[in-house]
Amino acid sequence: MPLSSSLDLSDNPDARHVLRFTADDVAQALDATRASLAASTAEVCNLSISTVGRLVEGVLRVRRLDEAGAVRLADRLAERPGVRSTRVEHLWGLS
């Protein structure tokens, strides 16, 4: 099921995708985020990283991406060393 309608979200400055991921530690989470964003047109709105047991959880909010771009960004995150899980959680900010 698509996260959004067939709107071109890359041109909507209010549309933001939320990606959630887990990693082994903060350094790997930051490196994975940096490397994944380097190959993307995404504009970062917010990144938060918190400890959850023995892992860290990252929540990355981006804009200037359509749905397929958000999925590709999550896939690139998943390929990075130390990253255990990723998902595009939801889209927010549309009026």
pLDDT digits (tens, 9 = 90+) for 35-78: 999 989 999 999 999 999 999 999 999 988 888 899 999 999 99
In a domain, 3, yes or no: no
Residue 75 main-chain phi, psi, to 5 deg:
-65, -40
> What pLDDT sits at residue 6?
41
In a domain, 1, yes or no: no
Structural domain count, the chain: 1
Domain range spanning residue 36? 11-92
Of 89, 11, 20, 68, nearest to 43 by C-alpha is 11
Q: What is the DSSP string of 44-92?
A: EEEEEEEEETTEEEEEEEEES--HHHHHHHHHHHHHSTTEEEEEEEEEE
d(CA 76, CA 92): 22
d(CA 71, CA 65): 10
Task: Give the CATH number, domain containing residue 67.
Answer: 3.30.70.260
Query: pLDDT band for position 89 (50/70/90)?
Result: confident
Within 10 angstroms of residue 17's Cβ, the number of other Cβ atoms is: 28
In a domain, 6, yes or no: no
